[in-house]
A and B are shown apart, each in its own frame.
Chain A
Amino acid sequence: MRKLLLGGLLVGVWLTGSWLFPVVAFAQEGFPLDGTWRGEHAAAKGAPTTVVVIMQWDGKQVTGTINPGPNGIEFTGATLDPDGWKVHVAAKDAKGKDVILEGVVSDLGKYSRVITGKWTEGGQTHDIRFVRE
């Protein structure tokens, strides 16, 4: 009985995955930066630091928030250059120091597209890779 239940569960998971996967793999949306992005960069001592960025396009400018929540910070400026899909995001942290993302959007045709580039925060610059959630 237990095996039967486990088997049923596995089949259920497989069926759910088989329905969801193609949509996730192929579906794409309008403005390439719209959505929630999660990335990681390696801090100086090796522990990865997660960064969440929410971006939206209002037709004239890209606005957004870095690490939404009590300590979230709003963009002071952001651009997407369609010539090469280059992204630039600027913000100021609580101490007034620059937070900057310079990157490039890839996997443009996928829902889970990617931004790879450099993340500058607290005077240090790291490689970073964001994936759209």
Chain B
Amino acid sequence: MTSASSVNKRLLPMVATSVIAVAVLATGLLVTGCSKSNADKPAPRYADGSVRLDREPGEKGYWDMPSATSLVEEGVTVATDTRGKLANLADAEKVAPFQPWSLALFKFRQENDLADDPMKVCIGPGSPRQMMTPGGVRILQDKNYNRVYLIFGGGNRNWRVIYMDGRTPPSPDEVTGTFLGNAVGKWEGDTLTAESIGFNTRFWFSNSGLPHTEALKLTERFTRMSHEVLEYEVTIDDPRTYTRAWKAKWTLKWVPGDIEEQFCEDGRE
């Protein structure tokens, strides 16, 4: 007994230490596993298998925290501040394939410290700019009417619609240009693709002041890479302003909660 008791006394600390170690290890694995599963959780889907770009039932969240703060051609690196102001004006010509007049106008807007930005008088940002304007966006799929609605928290709390019913987009020459254009969309696999034409020229589609004309055509691709990440790609095609079509791409993060209420008041940022 004495001998057994002595063994127990010697074993007890070892067992206790092992239990604690296993517990710590298990907790660590559990925490790591949880974060990993959140990050790697696949994009949610409807019963028909199509990807949900918005919330699952019972969930609250929206897209925000864009990975880019200014629109620059894919593959180009230039330093800008969060307002889209270039750190070095000499980088202007790298931002996009400008025609001479549009490069000069872009430089003018930059040198003018973006003072003429239409958003300063509550004119909404153009579609790509909206996807990087802080405040968030939700992408609502209306399966009854075959439409997708984008509801924006930033800017002047706007919304736009993408028609998914197979309609033919109108001829740009036959529509009165609007701020958000006419958008028709379709699914290419798990990617929502939208083509928009029929814009007016009274807005900026980037915070940096990239010019455009009424010939602007946007092709946007929305891909939910996982539960947490939305990839947004836009191709800008405006042959009156740029020497060729060009694209940019960035991601947005899924943010739990609701879009906060904010309104633009005329004359204030």
A residues engaging B (CB < 8 A)?
A: 19, 22-23, 25-32, 34, 57-59, 80, 82-83, 85, 108-111
Q: Mark B239-262, 1 if CB is under 8 A from A, else 0.
A: 111000000000000000000000
Residues of B close to A26: CB separation below 8 A: 116, 118, 120-121
**CB-based contact A80/B121 at 8 Å:** no
**CB-based contact A82/B104 at 8 Å:** yes
Candidate in A25, A80, A82, A111 with the most chain B CB atoms within 10 angstroms:
A82
- Supposing A29-B201, A57-B213 touch, asked if A22 and B240 sit within 8 A by C-beta, the answer is no
* Minimum Cβ distance to chain B for residue A17 (Å): 13
Chain B, range 205-262, C-beta contacts under 8 Å to A: 211-215, 239-241
Residues of B close to A82: CB separation below 8 A: 100-101, 103-105
* Minimum Cβ distance to chain B for residue A46 (Å): 37
Besides the contacts A28-B202, A85-B104, A108-B105, what 11 more A-B pairs have beta carbons closer than 8 Å?
A: A23-B202, A27-B202, A28-B116, A29-B202, A30-B241, A32-B105, A59-B99, A59-B241, A83-B104, A109-B108, A110-B116
Kindly count the residue-residue contacts between A and B in the assembled complex, taking CB atoms under 8 Å apart.
Answer: 66
- Supposing A22-B266, A59-B215 touch, asked if A80 and B116 sit within 8 A by C-beta, the answer is no
Bound-complex Cα distance A58 to B200 (A): 15
Residues of A close to B100: CB separation below 8 A: 82
Residues of B close to A31: CB separation below 8 A: 101, 211, 213, 240-241
**Identity of the chain A residue whose Cβ is nearest the Cβ of B121 in the assembled complex:** A22
Residues of A close to B116: CB separation below 8 A: 26, 28, 109-110
- Is B25 interfacial (CB-CB < 8 Å)? no
* Minimum Cβ distance to chain A for residue B209 (Å): 9
Give the contact-size bracket for chain B.
20 to 34
**Identity of the chain A residue whose Cβ is nearest the Cβ of B104 in the assembled complex:** A82
Bound-complex Cα distance A130 to B102 (A): 22
Main secondary structure of the interface of A (DSSP, over half): loop
- Is B267 interfacial (CB-CB < 8 Å)? yes
**CB-based contact A59/B202 at 8 Å:** no
**CB-based contact A22/B267 at 8 Å:** yes
Shortest beta-carbon contacts, A-B, top 10: A82-B104, A109-B116, A59-B240, A29-B201, A30-B213, A30-B201, A22-B121, A82-B101, A27-B202, A26-B121
Chain B, range 103-127, C-beta contacts under 8 Å to A: 103-105, 108-109, 112, 115-116, 118, 120-121, 123
Bound-complex Cα distance A108 to B111 (A): 12
Bound-complex Cα distance A82 to B211 (A): 14
**CB-based contact B115/A109 at 8 Å:** yes
* Minimum Cβ distance to chain B for residue A70 (Å): 25
**CB-based contact A30/B104 at 8 Å:** no
Bound-complex Cα distance A26 to B121 (A): 7
Residues of B close to A110: CB separation below 8 A: 116
